[in-house]
Structure 1
Amino acid sequence: MNHGTKRARIAALLGDPSGIGPEVMVKLLAREANRAAAEILLIADPAALASGQQIAGAPLEALRVDRLEDVRFEPGRVTLLAQDVLRGDPPALGECRAASGRAALQALDEATRAVQHGLADAIVFAPLNKHALRLGGMTHEDELRYLQERFGVRGFVCEFNITKGLWTSRVSSHVPLREVARLVTRESVGNAVAIIDGALRQSGIAVPRIAVSGLNPHAGDGGSIGSEEIEIIEPAVQELRGRGLDVRGPYSPDTIFLAARRGDFDAVVSMYHDQGQIAMKLMGFDEGVTLHGGLPVPVATCASGSAFDIAGRGVAKIGGLQAAFDLCARMAARPPASAA
Structure 2
Amino acid sequence: MSKGQPFIGIVQGDACGIGPELLPKLLQGLEENEKNRVLVISDRRVLAAGCAVSGLEVPCKALHERAAIDPHCGEIQLLDVPCLDPAGIVPGTVSADAGRAVLETFGLAIDLAKAGTVDGICFMPFNKAAMHLAGIGVEDELTWAKARLGVTSRASEFNVIDGMWNARVTSHVPLKDVAGRLTIELIVEAIVLADQTLKRAGYANPRIAVAALNPHAGDGGAIGKEEIDTIAPAVEKAALQEIEVHGPFPSDTLYLKVRDGQYDCALSMYHDQGQIAIKLLGFDQGVSVLGGLPVPITTPAHGTAFDIVGTNTANVRAARNAFRMVVAMAQGRAHRHA
Q: Name segments (4+ residues, structure 1) moved above 2 Å.
A: 34-38, 73-76, 87-92
Correspondence 1:172 to 2:170? yes
Q: Does 1:281 align with 2:279?
A: yes
CA contact (8 A) 2:39 2:78 kept: yes
Cα 1:313–1:34, aligned 2, differ >3 Å: closer, same or farther?
farther
Q: 2:84 aligns with which of 83, 86, 104?
A: 86
Counterpart of 2:2? 3
RMSD of aligned Cα (Å): 1.6
Q: Which residue of 1 aligns with 2:210?
A: 212
Deviations for 1:260-282, whole angstroms, at most 9, x for unmatched residues?
Answer: 21111100000000000000000
TM-aligned CA distance change 1:61 to 1:171, over 3 Å = same
Percent sequence identity is: 41
Report matched runs for 1:298-313 at 5 Å.
298-313=296-311
Encode CA deviations 1:277-316: one digit per residue, 9 max, x unaligned: 0000000001101000001111000110100110111110
Superposition deviation, residue 155 in structure 1: 0.2
Q: Secondary structure at the match of 1:149?
A: helix
Q: Which amino acid aligns with 1:141?
A: E
- The equivalent of 2:126 in structure 1 is 128
Amino acid at match of 1:123: I
From 12, 23, 40, give the equivalent of 1:25.
23
In structure 1, how many angstroms separate the alpha carbons of the residues matched to 2:47 and 2:70? Answer: 19
CA contact (8 A) 1:8 1:38 kept: no
Q: Structure 1 26/91 Cα, relative in aligned 2: closer, same or farther at 3 Å?
A: farther
Give the TM-score, by structure 2 length. 0.95
Matched residue SS, 1:60: coil
1:157 to 152, 155, 158: 155
After TM superposition, the structure 1 = structure 2 runs for residues 32-181 of structure 1, keeping only pairs within 5 Å, are 32-33=30-31, 36=34, 39-87=37-85, 89=87, 91-181=89-179
Instruction: Tell me the distance in 2 between the aligned counterparts of 1:80 and 1:92.
Output: 24
Structure 1 contact 218–252 (Cα < 8 Å) conserved: yes
Cα pair distance change 1:259/1:87, threshold 3 Å: closer
Distance 1:323 1:265 in 2: 21
In structure 2, the CA distance between the partners of 1:136 and 1:160, relative to structure 1 (3 Å rule), is: same
Task: Report the CA distance between 1:79 and its aligned residue.
Answer: 1.1
Task: Label 1:180 to 1:34 Cα distance change in 2 as closer, same or farther (>3 A).
Answer: farther
Contact 1:47 1:90 in 2 (8 A): no
1:222 aligns with 220
CA-CA distance at 1:87 after TM superposition = 4.3
Is contact 1:160-1:291 (8 Å) kept?
Answer: yes
SS at match of 1:291: strand
SS at structure 1 position matched to 2:122:
strand
- Measured after TM superposition, the shift of residue 334 of structure 1 is 2.6
CA distance in structure 2 between the aligned counterparts of 1:34 and 1:218, rounded to whole angstroms: 50
Q: Which residue of 2 aligns with 1:338?
A: none
How far apart, in 2, do the equivalents of 1:14 and 1:165 lie? 26
Is the contact made by 2:308 and 2:314 (CA closer than 8 Å) also made in structure 1?
yes
Query: C-alpha deviations, 1:110-132, integer Å up to 9, x for none?
Result: 01111122211111001111101
Quick one: which amino acid aligns to residue 158 of structure 2?
A: F
- Larger mean Cα displacement after TM superposition, 63-72 or 138-147: 63-72
What amino acid is the match of 1:118? G
Query: Are the structure 2 counterparts of residues 23 and 227 from structure 1 closer, same or farther at C-alpha, using a change threshold of 3 Å?
Result: same
- Please tell me the residue identity of whatever aligns with 1:93: P
Q: Does structure 1 retain, via aligned residues, the 8 Å contact 2:25–2:56?
A: yes
Gaps of 5+ in 2: 334-338
* Aligned equivalent of 1:254: 252
Q: CA separation in 2, counterparts of 1:34 and 1:244?
A: 41
Contact 2:123 2:299 in 1 (8 A): yes
1:25–1:126: 8 Å Cα contact kept in structure 2? yes
**Native 8 Å contact 2:214 2:224 kept in 1:** yes
Question: Cα distance, 1:89 vs. partner?
Answer: 3.2
- Give 1:73 deviation, angstroms: 3.6
Report the 3-state secondary structure (helix = DSSP H, G, I; strand = E; otherwise coil) of the residue aligned with 1:315.
coil
Pick from 292, 312, 321: which aligns with 2:290? Answer: 292
Please tell me whether the aligned partners of residues 122 and 298 of structure 1 are also in contact (alpha carbons under 8 angstroms). Answer: yes
1:76 offset after TM fit, Å? 4.4
- 5+ residue gaps, structure 1, are 336-340
- Matched residue pairs, number? 333
Partners of 1:196 and 1:61 in 2: CA distance:
39
The TM-score normalised by the length of structure 1 is: 0.94
Secondary structure of 1:254's counterpart equals helix
2:336 is matched with none
Amino acid of the structure 2 residue aligned with 1:155: S
SS at match of 1:255: helix
